[in-house]
Amino acid sequence: MGDMQGERVEVEITGVAHGGIFVARHEGRVIFVSDAIPGERVIAQITDDAKSSFWRADTVAVLDASPHRRPHVWDSAALDREPAQRAGGAEFGHILLEHQRELKRQVIVDSMKRMAKLDVAVDVAALPSGELAGEAVADGDGTGWRTRLRLHVGDDGTPGPYAARSHRVIEVTELPLAVPEARKVAPLGEKFTGADFVDIVVPSTGAPLVLVDDAASGPTKHSNRIIERVGDRDFRLDVRGFWQVHRHAAQALTTAVQQAIDESLFDARAANLDLYGGVGLLAAAVGDRFGRAVRITSVESDAGATDHAAENLVDWVGAAAVTARVERYLRQVGTEARGADRSRLRAATVVLDPPRAGAGKAVVSELVRLEPAQIVYVACDPVALARDVALFAAQGYEMSRLVAFDLFPNTHHVEAVATLVRR
């Protein structure tokens, strides 16, 4: 291979694939094209022809534009730039918002069909975007929602995002996806020689923070605790600890998980579980819906997060936070549970919020062995979710409900919440 690199081809875009790329065929070969929209005819420049099964390419000109195309929300990622100089991280920014959600819906539906052999009907719901600080305004153009962002630092000390699928730092003058408070403090014109990256964190309470990571001294030890407020509940966490990025995502997921639980299968006194629980956001969602008597154990491998979870869940006497790898925790519980413990597990509602790679075979198998009454699976990757839904189905659990949310407008990412029950 190797002879097509840099060549330009005229192609018809026929569909969307997971990962923010679009599908075309050229002389029988699949080409994954970025910056396009299904239905368009474009000129694409081949960037990667190393695999015989598919090539990658970037759109350099649109011959026949989709009615869903708009000027890119981020000038630094626009079509008139050389593909290698386009900022990454807003790969759907050239598509009207409503159609972005339609494409995300198609990716979920296709994944479920392909991997779990299920025909699902699902809509991708919009979140308020909060361009006006403290006010939920309608969606606008899908900008102004990111409360956390990382700027990488180039060899010359310039901070900026990476170019798409590359570790090349792009100098930018604006950060349209960021909340206004982050835009104000972003040190875009400055130099950070010797640093690896600059993190900007805008908590819902307190001042925005700019944290510089120095390669020489390792990560700066910020024992900075921040407080995130969801409804009228406060969550303490480390400034670099995991928290949902969209300003309204924590509230949206709280409500989504509360609604995803089948009340007729819920038992407050069961051995309820919150797996990959972070600082306890979703355990608290369960507790707030079902009251003070709720027993729930939040399991998370990051000790800093579980320390905070213990504090954040103090309102429930029956809540606990355990530091453990989920698979190991489930195996141990499954091995040791007898009699009454076993029935409490069988009556359990399990909330599962795994990282992008999904729960995977080992965790699904250990979880199914406990035979919980229902599983609420919060997923940030539709392909991983569909694969896990297929694993659950093979072991007696079927998906009874699926909803999806656009927590990451102008990117290809989409969040889904599935409920699984014993057949």
Instruction: Decide if 423 contacts 396 (C-beta within 8 A).
Output: yes
Task: Look at the alpha carbons of 184, 188, 189, 193 in this order and tell me if their dihedral is positive or negative.
Answer: positive
Q: How far apart are CA 28 and CA 84, in angstroms?
A: 26
148/134 Cα distance (integer angstroms): 17
The H-or-E segment that residue 342 falls in is helix 339-346
**What's the token pair of residue 22?**
């679009």
Task: Give dist(CA 420, CA 370) in Å, integer.
Answer: 14
User: Beta strands of 305-409 (E only): which ranges?
Assistant: 319-323, 349-352, 374-379, 397-405
C-alpha angle 8/12/16, rounded to 5°? 105
For 379, residues 6+ apart whose C-beta sits below 8 A from its C-beta are 354, 358, 385, 388, 415, 416, 417, 418
Q: Which residue is associated with the tokens 């310039």? A: 158
Question: Is 380 known to be catalytic?
Answer: yes
Cα dihedral across residues 207, 305, 392, 111: positive or negative: positive
Would you state the structure tokens that stand for residue 401, as one six-digit string?
């409900």
Q: From residue 95, how far is each of 18, 122, 376, 377 by CA, in Å?
A: 16, 20, 31, 29
380, 416, 417, 420: which is the annotated catalytic residue? 380
Catalytic residues: 380
